């Protein structure tokens, strides 16, 4: 028999790539089905415990016995600790069901995501808000915890801007995507005295976290991007690209307090990007001025006079006040709650 490889059809590589995509997609769907089934099971266990507690003294000792008996009966299954039974009870108390439960966002995220929502948030509307975004954007557990700790629900779309005025019909939705205030830059490891160069350098070194903080769907297009205008040279601090809306986002960094002339510079940069970098198929660029502090009234007057769509965001290095940070469970506590080792 010949040891030579058989001659492959010309479309073999394309077919193989298509099959890999097909298999990967099927595996992902299967994993989601398994996860949804497990979360539904946990909800039903929690619902049964709630029902029993209405008429019988199902306290800590009883739940401890129940956890032991379930682990003994199903040794191959993880998660039947007493602590997890309490989380199952909390899950059932928080989410409606049973028939509609599998349609909720809670059934579409992992158990560790659910535990984080139950631990870190008391308001059910906020739990659903973060759960929906975790599903939509595919947040990992660490990203979800960061977004909760940094109060994304309060910051999203809150940066002063003129996006709707300059981009009628799409500016309001775009503001929710890109106009956070303040930006939480705790991951940069800088002191409040850091200047623009230090902030820019730290952002570049930690680009993945920087892009996440600016908004979902952001991509890095360049740092100190050169613009040549009539023989004069200018440099954009950061040039990002918002993939969902197919547009450039020009970022200008100012370590101090906002001044109206800052917006004049940014307005100029956005105009040049639109003229010299943007392709005809791409949507108009927007600008974000990131500053150490700002007077809202001054910002509003400056935005009214800007021709380009701009937003002004301050930044902070503190995700939460120290007292509130201490009130949150540590990552180790959440891992313990998941009972992954099932000791």
CA atoms lying within 13 Å on the CB side of residue 48: 8
Angle at 132 between CA 126 and CA 137, to 5 degrees: 125
CATH value of 153-319 in 3.40.50.150, 3.30.1780.10, 1.10.3720.10, 3.40.1350.10: 3.40.1350.10
* Cβ atoms of 46 and 92 closer than 8 Å: yes
pLDDT, greater one: 52 or 273? 273
Q: How confident is the model at residue 54 (pLDDT cuts 50, 70, 90)?
A: confident
d(Cα 319, Cα 2) in Å, to the nearest integer? Answer: 66
pLDDT one-digit tens code per residue, 186-213: 888 888 888 999 999 999 999 988 999 9
- Over 60: is that where the pLDDT of 98 sits? no
* Cβ atoms of 211 and 220 closer than 8 Å: yes
* Cβ atoms of 290 and 183 closer than 8 Å: yes
- Average pLDDT of 144-156? 92
- Over 90: is that where the pLDDT of 131 sits? yes
- Average pLDDT of 313-319? 82
Backbone φ and ψ of 255, nearest 5°: -75, -25
Q: What percent of the chain has pLDDT over 70?
A: 89
- Average pLDDT of 32-57? 88
- Tokens 């099932």 locate to 342
Give the distance, in angstroms, between the CA of residue 179 and the centroid of all CA atoms in the same chain: 14
Structure tokens at 57: 């003294």
- Tokens 């992902």 locate to 28
d(Cα 336, Cα 44) in Å, to the nearest integer? Answer: 22
Q: Which range, 131-135, 268-272, 333-337, is most confident?
A: 268-272
d(Cα 272, Cα 277) in Å, to the nearest integer? Answer: 8
Q: Which ranges in the chain are annotated with CATH 3.40.1350.10?
A: 153-319
- Tokens 């009870």 locate to 89
* Residue 183 bridge partners (DSSP): 315
Q: How confident is the model at residue 342 (pLDDT cuts 50, 70, 90)?
A: very low
Residue 327 CA: distances (Å) to CA of 209, 316, 319, 334: 24, 20, 13, 13
- Average pLDDT of 93-102? 66
- Over 60: is that where the pLDDT of 122 sits? yes
pLDDT of residue 162: 95
- Over 50: is that where the pLDDT of 221 sits? yes
Give, to the nearest 10 degrees, the angle between helix 82-94 and helix 60-73: 110
* Cβ atoms of 308 and 265 closer than 8 Å: no
* Residue 225 bridge partners (DSSP): 236
Q: CB under 8 Å to 332, separation ≥6 — which residues?
A: none
d(Cα 313, Cα 198) in Å, to the nearest integer? Answer: 18
C-alpha closest to that of 87 among 54, 108, 110, 104 = 110
* Cβ atoms of 178 and 288 closer than 8 Å: yes
**What is the pLDDT of the chain when averaged over all its residues?**
87
- Average pLDDT of 322-332? 46
């Amino acid at each position: 028999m010949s040891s030579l490889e058989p001659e492959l059809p010309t479309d073999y590589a394309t077919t193989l790539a298509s099959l890999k995509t097909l298999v990967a997609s099927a595996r992902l769907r299967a994993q989601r089905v398994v996860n949804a089934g497990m979360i539904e099971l946990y909800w039903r266990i929690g619902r049964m415990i709630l029902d029993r507690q209405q008429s019988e003294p199902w306290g800590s000792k009883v739940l401890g016995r129940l956890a032991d008996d379930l682990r003994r009966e199903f040794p191959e299954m993880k998660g039947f600790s007493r602590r997890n039974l309490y989380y199952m009870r909390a899950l059932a108390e928080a989410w409606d069901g049973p028939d509609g439960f599998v349609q909720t966002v809670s059934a579409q995220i992992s158990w560790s995501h659910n535990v984080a929502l139950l631990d870190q948030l008391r308001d059910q509307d906020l739990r659903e808000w973060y759960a929906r975004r975790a599903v939509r954007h595919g947040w990992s557990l660490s990203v979800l915890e960061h977004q909760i700790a940094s109060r994304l629900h309060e910051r999203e779309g809150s940066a002063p801007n003129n996006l709707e005025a300059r981009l009628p019909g799409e500016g309001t939705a775009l503001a929710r995507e890109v106009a956070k205030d303040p930006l939480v830059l705790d991951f940069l490891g800088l002191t409040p005295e850091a200047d623009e160069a230090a902030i820019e350098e730290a952002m570049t070194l930690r680009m993945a976290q920087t892009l996440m903080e600016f908004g979902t769907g952001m991509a890095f297009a360049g740092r100190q991007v050169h613009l040549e205008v009539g023989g004069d040279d200018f440099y954009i601090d950061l040039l990002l690209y918002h993939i969902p809306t197919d547009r450039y986002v020009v970022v200008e960094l100012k370590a101090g307090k906002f001044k109206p002339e800052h917006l004049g510079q940014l307005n100029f940069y956005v105009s040049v990007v639109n003229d010299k970098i943007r392709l005809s198929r791409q949507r108009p660029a927007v600008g974000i001025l990131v500053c150490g502090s700002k007077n809202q009234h001054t910002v509003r007057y400056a935005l009214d006079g800007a021709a380009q769509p701009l937003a002004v965001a301050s930044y902070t290095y503190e995700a939460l006040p120290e007292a509130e940070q201490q009130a949150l469970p540590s990552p180790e506590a959440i891992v313990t709650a998941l009972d992954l080792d099932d000791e």
